[in-house]
Amino acid sequence: MTTTGKATGKASSTASAAAAPPGPEALRTLQRRTSAVLVVSQILGGLGVPIGIALAPVLATEVSGTEALSGLAPTASVAGTALLSIPLAALMTSRGRRPGLVLAYLIGALGAGLVVLAAVMENFPLLLLGMAGFGAASSANLQARFAAADLAEPDRRARAISTVVWATTIGAVLGPNIAAPAGRGFAGTSIPVTAGPFVWAAGIFLVTGLVVAVLLRPDPLLTARALAPQESQSAQSRSLRAGIEAVAASSRARLALVTVAVSHTVMVSIMVMTPVDLGHHGADLELVGLVISGHIAGMYAFSPVMGWLSDRIGRLAVIGLAAGLLCFAALLAGTAGPSHAQTAAGLFVLGLGWSAGLVSGSALLTDSVPQPARAAVQGLSDLTMNTAAGIGGAAAGLIVSQASYGWLNAIGACLLLPMAALALLATRRPAESAESAESAESAESAESAAKG
């Protein structure tokens, strides 16, 4: 054997050892460790991402000089999240969760730096480019929920997802309230007060990427793949095309995709214009931060409840709950007028509805497709939800400038009709889908046990 042959053989042996599936007890330990690392990364990432949510519309108005363009900055962030979903999913499919998450946080840090530069230069196109890069951090936070589900048992999948979603609460509630003092720290410099918090966000994203790079080992997706049947390990079974075909073949996967996309679109469209509406009624930056903090608490703090309900009473029931909560939120926020308390209540309920839709939809999506295609399907889901939300966010600014914030909420409520209709159809024909999902999960569990 040549030197090259020996090296290749050694590398092959090492790869095989690394890919060897762990036993049941080792698998449970790895799942707990993976969850702990993801919880830490979500707390850190949650400190940075909400800064963009709270300040992007205000900063866009300042830089562009017109309120009509205020919705484009958060929309650029959502668009960046969407555009990166497929490349990140492709990277995770070939290399695992860790490289994809690390790259996303690094791009987010670069985007935050460009936002600061754009504010200093008063360059609106550069601001949009920076916000698109900033959206990569949101993509990492979203993909982390699927990383939590990689090694979870089927009947605890929603709770595994919700635990990671919940972890964002700590950073997300603090983030918008840190914005004002972080901005004042740059008073007297060339950096505008509204851009100062993005400096903070860039540093946070760099630290988060480092945490994931060092601690998320072994990779949960690669470990889950090692537990899958050997015949499903071909590259074709993990391609984007295979993901699309998996969704097309399952009515419940289609419902899950619509649920996540519609819930996210309604939430983003209403949320991005709330700071502008609050400003119309005399709210200052601190009050805007408090309202957004309450909204984010609704999004994340009660996600374990949504996960428990999804595992106990079923994904479809929680999807129905999501539709009801989102409609009620639109009613509250859309009729609030100068009542800041009612606006805050509406935004809090909006967050609850989003949480119910995201957790139940993500769990149903993972349940409904084969393991090899899951990473591709999950990337497709994030692409769909963020593309839809990007369109909604862009339209939101125009709707508010041409009509009103109330009309925006009414239109958001109407978007829930397709989701409710599909959920109703799914409850009327559960047998085939349920049997198919149950048989897939039984095969997966049996295979894991055999390998263990």
Say whether 107 sits in a helix, a strand or coil.
helix
- Alpha-carbon distances, residue 81 vs 87, 91, 179, 254 (angstroms): 11, 15, 22, 21
Q: Tokens 């000089």 correspond to what residue?
A: 65
* Amino acid present at 207: V
Residue 353's nearest CA partner among 270, 250, 290 is 270
Q: What is the distance between the alpha carbons of residues 256 and 146, in angstroms, rounded to a whole number?
A: 14
| pLDDT tier for residue 53 given thresholds of 50, 70 and 90 | low
Minimum mean pLDDT among 9-13, 141-145, 283-287: which range? 9-13
Other Cβ atoms within 10 Å of 280 Cβ, number: 14
Q: Across the chain, what does the average pLDDT equal?
A: 82
Give the count of alpha carbons within 13 A of 140, CB side only.
Answer: 34
Rounded to the nearest 10 degrees, the angle between the axes of helix 315-334 and helix 251-280 is 20
DSSP 65: S
**What letters, b where the CB count within 10 A reaches 16 and e where it falls short, cover 103-134?**
bbbbbbbbbbbbbbbbbeeeebebbbbbbbbb
- Indicate if the pLDDT at residue 173 is higher than 90: no
pLDDT tens readout for residues 283-311: 777 788 788 878 888 888 899 999 999 99
Q: Which two tokens stand for residue 2?
A: 């040549």
- Alpha-carbon distances, residue 417 vs 132, 312, 397, 400, 425 (angstroms): 30, 25, 22, 22, 12
Are 46 and 172 in contact by the 8 Å Cβ rule? The answer is: yes
Phi and psi at 168, nearest 5°, equal -65, -20
Q: Which of 79-93, 144-158, 290-304, 339-353 has the highest mean pLDDT?
A: 339-353
- Residue 294 CA to its chain's centroid (Å): 18
pLDDT tens readout for residues 379-389: 888 888 888 88
pLDDT tens readout for residues 74-95: 778 878 888 888 888 888 888 8
Residue 427's nearest CA partner among 306, 291, 316, 331 is 316
Q: Which two tokens stand for residue 118?
A: 């754009």
pTM of the model: 0.76
| pLDDT tier for residue 245 given thresholds of 50, 70 and 90 | confident
DSSP 14: H
